[in-house]
Structure 1
Amino acid sequence: MSASAVSIRWLAVFCALLALITAPAFAADTLPLSELAKPGRLLMLRHANAPGFGDPPEFRLGDCSTQRQLDAAGRAQAVALGKRLAAAGVTQARLWSSQWCRCLETARLLGLGEPVELPALNSFFGRSEQREPRVAALRQFLATLPADGPPVVLVTHQVTITAFTGEGIAAGAGALFELRPGGEPRLLGQIAPNR
């Protein structure tokens, strides 16, 4: 790879990081977690706190030692969210997760059961060529979910949620949607992170 290609790639990564850092707070209304207990609701949750951005150069799927991981605050955040969900009447949900370790750990700590890995939820941060195929696969998956079914929780990454909302979102926060059969889910608002 030429020096100019490397420079352009690093500039693109820098711009993406700058956009994440300076992204406005999620603009939708904040909703109570009890909204998720209604039929046909979907929570697209960003993984809990995992310090840093992206993943190390040696990142390998399935090897948590090569990935950014939840810290103690992130684990506590996920457990606390699970307790908040239970208090709001959400004790069972259909649960899917990105294959990244920080997402799988967040999902497990919610106490809603074992998550099913869904590659369409995987991060495409720093890999813009993967954005459209991932988002299309996720849209196709969401169109198959019943509009009158039990709550659905998807644990994913900021870039995935931004693709559906147009806004940045904090670690441990989520976007709440109403499922619509055969179509794009309708954004209802956000679920605030534990503070």
Structure 2
Amino acid sequence: MPSSLLPEPRVARRAVLGAGLALASLRSWAAQDPDAEALLRKGGVVAAFRHSLAPGTFDPPGFRLGDCSTQRNLNDEGRAQARSVGAWFRQRQLQPGKVLSSPWCRCVDSATLAFGPPQVWAALGSPRGSPETTSAAYLRELRAALVAASSRPGRFEAWFTHMFVLSDLANTNTSSGEALILRADTKGKTEVLARLAVPG
């Protein structure tokens, strides 16, 4: 290969270093994930779930809250996924002190299949319109509730919401049915302590 096409040594070293840091980051997450159960048992956290699998993107034209037939809903795999979440918690005798859900049917159904009927909370609802961002008022509500939950050792809450809400609250991506184990630090900033993805 002509020398002009060989990677510049410093560039190559940066690429290797970057790959190493990315791998270390992945290992860090992997090391934290087994701690999810211990964190839930200790309490003072929220298990914030993205709703279980509901194929498609966004809601169809004519969407109406309170009318599931107009919304994007869980499929069979999504319902099985939500039941598996409930089974995982029951097997470990972990019971949330409070179960809260977005008003969207796919969230309410995910919560109900996992834990029973939830308390519906508008602040967990999916943002509508463009851009897809959670309102500042709802984010304040969510952060205040997280601070309150973080101050209660020995109990945890389960929240069921949407990808966009979790992204705005915790600044990270989530998969369908995955939970972020969250708490607020002493300044009220959201911390992601672990991830929980229950096999379907």
TM-score in terms of structure 2 length? 0.75
Partners of 1:190 and 1:153 in 2: CA distance: 13
For residue 183 of structure 2, the aligned residue among 178, 187, 194 is 178
Are positions 1:119 and 2:122 aligned together? yes
SS in 1 for 2:182: strand
1:173 partner amino acid = E
Aligned-pair Cα RMSD in Å: 2.3
Partners of 2:90 and 2:111 in 1: CA distance: 14
1:170 partner amino acid = S
180 and 125 in structure 1: CA distance in 2 versus 1, 3 angstrom threshold: same
Name the counterpart of 1:65.
Answer: 69
Name the counterpart of 1:15.
Answer: none
For residue 75 of structure 1, the aligned residue among 74, 79, 85 is 79
120 and 181 in structure 1: CA distance in 2 versus 1, 3 angstrom threshold: farther
42 and 94 in structure 1: CA distance in 2 versus 1, 3 angstrom threshold: same
C-alpha contact 2:41 2:94 (8 A) present in aligned 1? yes
Q: Map Cα deviations across residues 39-65 of structure 1 (whole Å, 9 max, x no partner).
A: 212111000000001101211011100
Please list every run of at least 4 consecutive aligned residues from structure 1 whose deviation after the TM superposition is greater than 4 angstroms: 179-182
83 and 53 in structure 1: CA distance in 2 versus 1, 3 angstrom threshold: same
Q: Map Cα deviations across residues 127-149 of structure 1 (whole Å, 9 max, x no partner).
A: 43752323222113323335224
Name the counterpart of 1:44.
Answer: 48
Are positions 1:189 and 2:184 aligned together? no
Structure 1 residue 102, shift from structure 2 partner: 0.3
Q: Map Cα deviations across residues 70-114 of structure 1 (whole Å, 9 max, x no partner).
A: 001000000011000112221343100000000000000112x32
Which of these two proteins has the greater Rg computed from alpha carbons?
A: 2
1:63 partner amino acid = D
Structure 1 residue 126, shift from structure 2 partner: 4.2
Are positions 1:31 and 2:9 aligned together? no
Partners of 1:94 and 1:148 in 2: CA distance: 12
C-alpha contact 1:146 1:181 (8 A) present in aligned 2? no
Shifted more, 137-146 versus 70-79: the winner is 137-146
C-alpha contact 1:94 1:152 (8 A) present in aligned 2? yes
Partners of 2:130 and 2:101 in 1: CA distance: 19
117 and 86 in structure 1: CA distance in 2 versus 1, 3 angstrom threshold: same
Name the counterpart of 1:128.
Answer: 131
Shifted more, 57-66 versus 91-100: the winner is 91-100
- The total of aligned residue pairs comes to 169
Q: Structure 1: where are the runs of 5+ without partners?
A: 1-25
2:171 partner amino acid = G
1:120 partner amino acid = A
